[in-house]
Amino acid sequence: MSSARTKARTRAFQILFEADHRGVDPQQVLADWVGRAREPKPDEGTPQVGEYTMELIEGYVRHARRIDELISQYAVGWTLDRMPIVDRNVLRLGTYELIWEDGVPDAVVLDEAVEIAKEFSTDDSPAFVNGLLARFMELKPTIRRD
């Protein structure tokens, strides 16, 4: 597992989280982050946005409606709106990468999503994220056909 990919996923999660929190398009937040990173003298804490982060955000945006439908359909007892914002966006990112990114082994996607949930969410979140993404992994051939 490359740390560059791990950082890229974490950044993509943070961009989705910020977009969701602010109620704006993730591509707008991505553009803001890229713009700040490219300023002549970016702030110390300005994260660099790599190619894979951009791919993840653009891929998510392409499939956002379908991803939200899947999460809503299979998250037993949770509506998308009631779900903690961290979990919702970890699941969005993980679902996109699991279903539509072929270059990454499914187990890596699950592990990384669970790690992000451990770092940013509640004690119950890693098991919730793992359970739902594991279900999508089983359903992947069917989901991709739809």
pLDDT digits (tens, 9 = 90+) for 97-124: 999 998 999 999 999 999 999 999 999 9
Q: What predicted TM-score, i.e. pTM, was given to this entire model? A: 0.93
Give dist(CA 13, CA 96) in Å, integer.
Answer: 12
- pLDDT band of 2, cuts 50, 70, 90: low
Q: What is the predicted pLDDT for the residue at 99?
A: 96
The lowest-confidence range among 47-51, 62-66, 77-81, 111-115 is 47-51
pLDDT of residue 38 exceeding 70, the answer is: yes
Q: How many residues would you count in the chain? A: 146
Greater confidence (145 vs 143) lies with 143
Q: What is the predicted pLDDT for the residue at 44?
A: 73
Measured in degrees and rounded to the nearest 5, phi and psi for residue 120 equal -110, -10
- Give which of 117, 102, 109 is closest to 134, Cα–Cα: 109
- Give which of 46, 28, 29, 26 is closest to 37, Cα–Cα: 46
Q: CA-based Rg of the chain, rounded to a whole angstrom?
A: 15
Give dist(CA 27, CA 119) in Å, integer.
Answer: 24
